[in-house]
Each structure stands twice: as C-alpha cells, then as structure tokens.
Structure 1
Amino acid sequence: MEIKTILITQARTGSTRLPGKVLKEIGGRSLLQIHLDRLKKCSKVSEIIVATTNKEEDSEIYNKAIEWGFVASRGSESDVLDRFYQAVKDKKADWIVRVTSDCPLIDSSLVDKVISYVQDNDKDYGSNVLIENFPDGQDVEVFKFSALETAWKNAELLSEREHVTPYIRNNSDYRGGALFTAINYPCESDFSKIRMTVDESSDFELIEILVNKLGVKKSWVEYTNYIIENNLTKINNQIIRNEGFLKSLKNDK
C-alpha cells in the first residue's frame, strides 16, 4: 500500500515584523508562489495544502493557492496546531510534512531527503532542525499523522498550540520523553548563521538579491555558497533565529 504523505505549508499576511510578506513580489511573482512552485517538485509528497487563517485579509492567500492549483484550507490564526489538524484530519494521511511559507527558497530535494530519512527509520518525528545546522529557511519537519493527532488532543501550552510541533519534540526520546521517537537529519557543516527565511525587510532584501542573481531553481547549497562567497550574511545576520517561537515560550510562563 502506498504511503500517503501530505505537506502542509502555513501562510498568513499578519506578520508583525513584515506585514504581508508572503505576498511581496520579486520579478512579478510573490514569495508564496516561488515557495509553492519549488515544493511542487517534491517526489515524496502526495498532496500540498496551504493552511491559512480565517481572517478576512488572508482570503487572498486562500484564493491564490486555489488559483495556482493547490489545495487550501482555513483555520485559527493563533492555534496553528488546530489549523494543521483540521486541514488533514479527513485525508487519511500516514505522514505530515510541515514547512512555512516565509521560506521561499526551500529546496524540494532536501524536503524529499528528510521525508525518506524519517520514514525509512520509522520514527514518529524527524526534522533537520533538532540540531539547527541547516540555513534558517530550509527547515523541514516530518511526523506521523498519529503524532499530530496526539499533540492536537493533549498540547496545552501556548507555544505548543502556536507552533505545531513543540509538544511532539518535547515529549520525544530525543528530549528524554517517552511518547514519541525522534531523529535529526544531519548537515555536514554548520550553516546556522545563514538566513533564507523572511521575517524582516533585510531578509527580503537578501532573497531579492538571490532571486535576481541566481533565479528560483537553484539548490539550497548553491544559494548558501553564493551568500558566503559574496559576504551577504551581513545583510540580515543580526536577526535572532526562531524569534517568534522564543516569544511564545516567554508567554507560556
């Protein structure tokens, strides 16, 4: 029987630091469209769902996703765990892949590799972010639907509802927990200082340079090498990685 793997990308316009960021355009195409076109090349994914919010201003994301031929769903802005669960609960998926739409240059072949690695090792959860050595903006998380459902039923902390996977990670054997098995997809070198995600205007400036110079079809390695060779890290390396998640953790207390 074929394994059903559904990729969900979360997308909204309501960013506090760079409002409307996923609809900002480079060369006539929005970051969201670039992101989705790159993900379309994933061979290990059965379906891609764009999970946006119920807010009126996110109707454009919903409508565009459908116009481009993707499945789209709408749900809670703050309880993203519920938004994910509602998007797939009737799909009979075996596996869920989580990415975020503020990562326009996510690499489809890397996504496929992480999926294969986690599925071949039959872990409940796996990602390339348990140890953050990949560039920020190449984050891929893969987990069993059963793990998502358990998290959805049991997660109570704000950070665990707002960011989908912390409940699974926190209760995994990787973190000393007993509920889930977990594995990290390794990176040969430490590229954690490289940012290819878009949280602030300086991030957008860097992505714009990469797209204008290299186009939208290169691998994560080619973009990374270009950033390093041209000393472009200085554009946005003052931004703290996972700042939104760190803020949520503070609000848990």
Structure 2
Amino acid sequence: MKAVGIIPARWGSTRFPGKSLAPIAGRPLIEWVVRAALRATRLGEIIVATDDRRIADAAAAAGVRAVMTRADHHSGTDRVAEAARGLNADIVVNIQGDEPLLDPKVVDRLVELMESESDWDMATAACPTLDERDIDNPSVVKVVWGDRHRALYFSRSRIPYVRDSEDRASASAACYWRHIGIYVYRRQFLERIVREPPCLLERLEKLEQLRALHIGARIAVIEAEEAGVGVDTPEDVAYIEQALARRGADRMTECPESSQSEA
C-alpha cells in the first residue's frame, strides 16, 4: 500500500493569521512540520495543501510539493481530500500544519496499523491526560473508546463524566485521554467523509472527526506517550522554541534527503 502525508495549511487562521510562516527558531512554522513529517518512514510522499502562494513557496523551499486548494473548506479534512484527488495512494495521512513537535514514530505506527488491519476506516492517536486543567480545558480535545480501542466519541468537554465523588480520584489516570490531532484515512473513506455536509455535532464542537463518526466510521485509537504542542496564538511561539531547544533543535536542522518535486 502507498501512504502519503498531506499537511493542510491555510493562511486565514482566526487567532493567528499567517501562522504557517511564523518564524520559529529562524525557520517558518511550516518548515518545522515538514521536517518532522519527512522523518516518518512509512510515507511515500509529503505534500502541503494550502490556499496561499506564500505558504506554497515555503513548502517548496523545505523540499516538498505544494498543492493549491480552495480557501473555503470547512475543515482540514476537506482540504486534504481535495489535495489527495489524483494521487496514487491507498492511505492518506492528515498531518496538522501547526504542530512542529510531531512525533514521526506515531505516524509510522498509525500507517502500519491501517496496513495490517483492514477493518479500520481511520486511525488516530491519544495520550494520557493527568492534569485537571487539561480535562476541563475546551482547547484540549478528549476521546473515549470501547472494544479494540475503537473511538466512541471526541469532545471538548470532560468525558467521561464521573458521577460519584469517591470515584473521581482514581478515574483520572485511567479514563481521560487527550486526542492527538493526526488522522489516517483509507482513501475511499476520506472521499465518503467529504461528500457529507458537516453534521450537527461537528458544527457544535468544531471537531471534524465527528462527521466521520456520524456516518459510522470505525476509528482506531493508538496510545502515544505525549501530545504534540500546537501553535494557536503568537504567544505559543516562545514555548515551541523552548521545547525545540530542549529536544536539541540542532539535531532537527538536518532534514532527510527528499526526492519530491517542488511546487
């Protein structure tokens, strides 16, 4: 099976317009995301899907191809689907364009799962959430799953809600999982998702994966050690720079050789 990674990156972010080009440790944000994605060994190609020529140029400078897409998409899923049309791929990986600390090993594990277990329509990841502030933070999406780690629901609210106070202390470590916003789709199912309009729950929670659940998606959730940190506001840049320094940003400046064509 051929798997491709597509990074949706729009210019008009509500809280941080143009954030894809925001300088982080001397490089635009989109370049850090590309460099992390290129370290995934299971992807045959990395593509940036964007509605802005400046972002496309930055993708080309980082060594990957850019595909120009419409500016009016409802979600990153819709933008990824447009970019994926015409590609020779069985599996499509939606890599968030604002997470420079992406763990490529998680990408590889998700692709391997989709290759080895044919009954899944999609796969994603989650990590334990132990901080009470995160559990009640609407910016931190939570997920609950059932048998075989099949996703039951994603929400910005506290899920599950533990009714009895005597159970709350023991429930946090075992029950609360923070969703990591990476999605791996079978190509045919991705096309099915975007043929559907956003459902009520998607519109209310502003979570694109709820459209997939609404139409009956079988979504596998794998466990990861930690969540990546996204860039949502200009204030997040300093934190990301510190995190890159702690990880040893110098080791990340040398990018794997890419044979991909430029935009």
In structure 2, the CA distance between the partners of 1:195 and 1:87, relative to structure 1 (3 Å rule), is closer
**Between structures 1 and 2, the one with greater helix share:** 1
By relative contact order (CA 8 Å, sep 6+), the higher-ranking structure is 2
**Between structures 1 and 2, the one with greater strand share:** 2
State, as a whole percentage, how many aligned pairs show the same letter. Answer: 25
Is 1:206 aligned to residue 203 of structure 2?
no
CA distance in 2, matches of 1:108, 1:156: 30
Which runs of 5 or more structure 2 residues have no equivalent in the other structure?
Answer: 127-142, 145-153, 155-175, 253-263
Specify the SS of the correspondent of 1:42: coil
Specify the SS of the correspondent of 2:63: coil
Deviation at 1:164, TM superposition (A): 5.3
In structure 2, the CA distance between the partners of 1:197 and 1:165, relative to structure 1 (3 Å rule), is same
Aligned counterpart in structure 1 of residue 15 of structure 2, from 14, 17, 25: 17
Pairing of 1:109-120 with structure 2 (within 5 A) = 109-120=105-116
Q: Which moved more, 1:20-29 or 1:126-135?
A: 126-135
Is 1:124 aligned to residue 121 of structure 2?
yes
Aligned counterpart in structure 2 of residue 49 of structure 1, from 40, 44, 47: 47
2:82 is aligned to 86
Deviation at 1:215, TM superposition (A): 2.7
Alignment root-mean-square deviation, CA: 2.7
1:168 is aligned to 212
TM-score, scaled to structure 1: 0.69
Deviations 1:81-137 (A, max 9, x none): 44322211111311111111110110111111122123322211111154486767x
Specify the SS of the correspondent of 1:8: strand
Q: Which moved more, 1:35-44 or 1:18-27?
A: 18-27
Pairing of 1:1-253 with structure 2 (within 5 A) = 3-53=1-51, 58-79=52-73, 80=75, 81-122=77-118, 123-129=120-126, 130-131=143-144, 138-157=180-199, 159=202, 165-172=209-216, 180-187=217-224, 196-216=229-249
Deviation at 1:163, TM superposition (A): 6.2
Which runs of 5 or more structure 1 residues have no equivalent in the other structure?
Answer: 173-179, 220-253
Deviation at 1:217, TM superposition (A): 7.3
- Bigger Rg over Cα: 2
